[in-house]
Amino acid sequence: MEFRALVDEVLADYYRLFPATATELGMHAHDATWPDLSDAGRVERIAFLTTAADRVATVDPKDLSKDDRIDRRILQESLAAIRFAEDDLDEGHWDAMAYVYLFGNGIFALLAREFAPLPERLTSAAARLRALPAALEQARANLTDPRDRRAGTGRAREVSQLHAERAVTTMAGVAELARTASSEADRLEAKDAALRDEVQAAAGQAVEAIEGYIGWLRDELVPRATGDFRLGADLYERKFRHALRTELTPDQLEARAAADYDRVRAEMVRLARDLWSSWVGTEPVPEDEASLVRGVLDAIAGDHPRAEELLDWCRDENGRIEAFIRERDLIGPADEPLKIVWTPPFLRAFGGAMLIPPGPLDRGLDSFFAITPMPDDWSDERRESYLREDNARMLRLLTIHEAVPGHYLQLAWSNRCPSLLRAIFGSGVFAEGWAVYVTQVMMDVGYGAEDPALMLVHWKFYLRSITNTLMDIRIHAGTMDEDEAMSLMVDGGFQEYGEAANKWDRARLSSTQLCEYFLGAVQLTDMEHHARRRAAASGGELSWRPFLESLISHGSPPPPILRDILAG
Residue 499's pLDDT is 84
Question: Hey, which residues does 156 pair with through a beta bridge?
Answer: 150
Tell me the mean pLDDT in the region 206-211: 98
- Residue 102 burial (CB count, 10 A): 20
| 352, pLDDT greater than 80 | no
- Residue 311 burial (CB count, 10 A): 17
Q: How confident is the model at residue 9 (pLDDT cuts 50, 70, 90)?
A: very high
| 163, pLDDT greater than 50 | yes
Residue range 520-534, pLDDT digits in tens: 999 999 999 999 999
Q: How confident is the model at residue 151 (pLDDT cuts 50, 70, 90)?
A: very low
Instruction: Please give the model's pTM, rounded to 2 decimal places.
Output: 0.93
Residue 148's pLDDT is 47
Q: What HEC string does 470-495 produce? A: HHHHHHHCCCCCHHHHHHHHHHHCCC
Tell me the mean pLDDT in the region 101-118: 94
| 153, pLDDT greater than 80 | no
Q: How far apart are CA 132 and CA 129, in angstroms?
A: 5
SS3 74: helix
Q: How confident is the model at residue 364 (pLDDT cuts 50, 70, 90)?
A: confident
Q: Please, what is the Cα angle at 236 between 232 and 240, to 5 degrees?
A: 170
Q: How confident is the model at residue 152 (pLDDT cuts 50, 70, 90)?
A: very low
Q: How far apart are CA 465 and CA 463, in angstroms?
A: 5
Residue type for 86, please? E
Residue 348's pLDDT is 79
Return the percent helix, strand and coil in the chain, to nearest 5.
Answer: 70, 5, 25
Residue 350's pLDDT is 58
% of the chain with per-residue pLDDT over 90: 89
- Residue 132 burial (CB count, 10 A): 25
Residue range 277-291, pLDDT digits in tens: 999 999 999 999 999
Q: Give the neighbor-by-neighbor strand order of the sheet with 367-371.
A: 338-342, 367-371, 353-356
Q: How confident is the model at residue 310 (pLDDT cuts 50, 70, 90)?
A: very high
Average model confidence (pLDDT) across the chain: 94
C-alpha to C-alpha distances, 504 to 215, 333, 351, 468, 511, nearest whole angstrom: 26, 36, 11, 9, 12
Q: How confident is the model at residue 51 (pLDDT cuts 50, 70, 90)?
A: very high
Q: How far apart are CA 450 and CA 155, in angstroms?
A: 57
Q: DSSP label at 377?
A: T
Q: How confident is the model at residue 147 (pLDDT cuts 50, 70, 90)?
A: low
- The closest of 90, 101, 114 to 39, measured between CA atoms, is 90
